[in-house]
Structure 1
Amino acid sequence: MPTGAIVDALSVLIGGLLGAFGGHLLSDEFKRDLNLIFGICSMGMGVMAIAPMKNMPAVIFALILGTVIGLACHLGQLFNKGAMLMQAPISKHFPAEKLGLTHDEFVNQLVTSIVLFCASGTGIYGSLTAGMTGDNSILFSKAILDLFTAAIFACNLGYVVSLVAIPQFLVLFLLFILAQFILPMTNNTMIIDFKACGGFLMLATGFRMAKLKNFPIADMIPAMILVMPFSWFWVNVVLKALGA
């Protein structure tokens, strides 16, 4: 049973509802400063995931090529359209909701939250681990951070943040099911490089949350698909050909 995926999705749902309901009680300065803290937490988690990286050339190449693919496929624009589709039913039920954001600010923050909750290396690796071994501890730890992060996002974005729990659960559940097919084809080095790639996305997400640099994190997602095959190819083909 995907207990970890369920708990993590519920944390986003509950955090989103609490933040949207009580966000007006918090000052803009409080929300801004706390969002900076969550941004630096995301950066720190990203750095920790990147540090053990085994094959830097493979990870960097996956990031570059994956982002090129994402940009060529306009993946970021698709995320933007999906974000607005998610907001549409919320606007019908809460037409008086005043978010105090421009359209671009709203879309940027919502896309950031979607990527953070649905496509983080921690969530993906945690789902694969839970599906293969039954160990949900990684997802449980992520759920604690997601609860508070969702609440802060919802203070600015409203009830739409709670809907992110739906695609999040679908992604984590699908990975949980596929784990029995994916993990046997991997090794420890490939998984470490995979987490490192996710770390770069989390680092970029932290910069975006802190409004320091608006990285195209949605367009970077294909790198998560490429990094393990590239890691394998680098070790078993390139390094062997070089006699390393």
Structure 2
Amino acid sequence: MIMPTGTIVNVAAVLAGGTAGLLLRSRMPDGIRTIVFQGLGLCTLAIGIGMSMKMQNPLVVIFSVVLGGIIGELAHLETQLERAAAFLKARVRSGNEMFIDGLITAFLLFCVGSMTILGAFDEGLRADPTLLFTKSMLDGFAAIALTATYGIGVLFSVIPLFIFQYSLTLFAGVLSTWLTEAVIAQLTATGGILILGIGLTLLDIKRIRLSNLLPALVIVVALSLLFPG
């Protein structure tokens, strides 16, 4: 059994950053909270643009996002995730109105990206958690801003974060044969588009049901293998 050192550190960093964000939130005037929220949205847009620029085959990415969205809508993924988050909210007896949004937004931001995949692979194949340590530092700082904005729901994003990231580590040997550099580039670009959606939501420009677009991340891998180059 692989010891998920990098993922454990990642979870600890999010919890530490989130706790700091909670302490700041209680002392933060509304004006500062708003500008932090907007700054985080702009930074998220910048991250999404950078990731989407890795796109190698635009048609594959476009088709993956469209088909993934259709599948997600038909499967009501957003509703299912919201129900799971609402169940967790009820169990912890949280009165935070933004609990669900915070959990889902944080999970997407922490897990949709090449550092998650490559870091988990490095730890699974070479027992090297260095990249996940770097990701942990970035996620910790992001957790401060997210929790200052959304509240305690961000802290509970560590549950799906741990499950998703550790699963990649455990199955790194199998998945690495499929996720070549070209496929990861396409996957990163697709993830970047989803992160752009997070930025638009944070800036209150347009709320996008991003959870329903998650199947695009699976479809883009399949299409990239079928139509390389």
TM-score by length of 2: 0.88
Corresponding residue for 1:142? 135
Match of 1:115 among 108, 115, 123: 108
Corresponding residue for 1:33? 35
Shift of 1:216: 1.3
* Compared CA separation, residues 85 and 42, structure 1 to 2 (3 A): same
C-alpha separation in 1, matches of 2:57 and 2:197:
20
Is 1:202 aligned to residue 195 of structure 2? yes
Is 1:225 aligned to residue 218 of structure 2? yes
The answer to whether the 8 Å contact 2:110/2:161 transfers is: yes
The answer to whether the 8 Å contact 1:54/1:192 transfers is: yes
4+ residue stretches of structure 1 with deviation over 4 A?
none
Identity between Structure 1 and Structure 2 (%): 28
- Please list the CA deviations of residues 104-144 of structure 1 after superposition, one character each: whole Å capped at 9, or x if unmatched: x5533442223222444542343234323444343333322
Superposition pairs of residues 56-95 of structure 1, within 5 angstroms:
56-91=58-93
C-alpha separation in 1, matches of 2:222 and 2:59:
13
**RMSD between superposed Cα atoms in Å:** 2.1
What amino acid is the match of 1:230? L
C-alpha separation in 1, matches of 2:191 and 2:122:
15
What amino acid is the match of 1:214? R
What amino acid is the match of 1:215? I
What amino acid is the match of 1:181? V
Shift of 1:6: 1.5
- Please list the CA deviations of residues 4-50 of structure 1 after superposition, one character each: whole Å capped at 9, or x if unmatched: 21221111111222222331111121122112222222221211111
Q: SS in structure 2 opposite 1:214?
A: coil
C-alpha separation in 2, matches of 1:124 and 1:185:
12
Shift of 1:54: 1.1
TM-score by length of 1: 0.83
The answer to whether the 8 Å contact 1:20/1:158 transfers is: yes
The answer to whether the 8 Å contact 1:69/1:219 transfers is: yes
Which shifted more, 129-138 or 216-225?
Answer: 129-138
* Compared CA separation, residues 81 and 90, structure 1 to 2 (3 A): same
Corresponding residue for 2:164? 171
Corresponding residue for 1:6? 8
The answer to whether the 8 Å contact 1:120/1:201 transfers is: no
C-alpha separation in 1, matches of 2:12 and 2:166:
13
Match of 1:182 among 169, 175, 180: 175
C-alpha separation in 1, matches of 2:203 and 2:183:
30
Q: Which runs of 5+ in 1 are unaligned?
A: 240-244
Q: Which runs of 5+ in 2 are unaligned?
A: none
- Please list the CA deviations of residues 136-170 of structure 1 after superposition, one character each: whole Å capped at 9, or x if unmatched: 34333332232122222222433332121122111
Q: SS in structure 2 opposite 1:211?
A: coil
C-alpha separation in 2, matches of 1:145 and 1:187:
25
* Compared CA separation, residues 163 and 109, structure 1 to 2 (3 A): closer
Which shifted more, 67-76 or 34-43?
Answer: 34-43
* Compared CA separation, residues 148 and 122, structure 1 to 2 (3 A): same
- Please list the CA deviations of residues 54-88 of structure 1 after superposition, one character each: whole Å capped at 9, or x if unmatched: 11111111111111111110000011112212222
C-alpha separation in 2, matches of 1:45 and 1:165:
21
What amino acid is the match of 1:225? V
Corresponding residue for 1:242? none
Shift of 1:200: 0.9
C-alpha separation in 2, matches of 1:48 and 1:30:
27
Corresponding residue for 1:215? 208
Larger Rg: 1
